């Protein structure tokens, strides 16, 4: 059996110390910034989170394209 993790971009809403609140299409979660350079994550930054840690930043245009693709996919799945 093949298992994989699919990453969904989120946008940082707030940063306090080494913690951020990340919004994934209305679902907000806390994420740790320990793996990122200090000061590199600010509100409005698009990120990928894995196991509670921000692991990557994303270009805003690419992140929006990915989010739109997920919305389309989920919309089609609702109609099945």
Where residue 32 sits, what CATH number does that domain have? Answer: 2.30.30.140
Using a cut of 0.85, tell me whether the model's pTM lies above it. no
Residue matched to tokens 């306090």? 16
Give the containing element (helix H, strand E) for 30. Answer: strand 27-32
pLDDT tens digit sequence for 5-42: 677 899 999 999 999 999 998 999 999 999 999 999 99
Inside any domain, residue 71:
yes
Tell me, yes or no, whether 4 lies in a domain.
Answer: no
The domain tally of the chain equals 1
């Amino acid at each position: 059996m093949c298992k994989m993790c699919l990453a969904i971009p989120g946008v940082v809403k707030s940063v306090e110390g080494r913690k951020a609140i990340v919004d994934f299409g209305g679902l907000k979660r806390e994420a740790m910034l320990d793996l990122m350079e200090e000061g590199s994550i600010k509100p409005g930054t698009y990120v990928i989170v894995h196991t509670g840690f921000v692991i990557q930043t994303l270009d805003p245009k690419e992140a929006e394209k990915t989010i739109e693709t997920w919305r389309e996919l989920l919309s089609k799945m609702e109609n099945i």
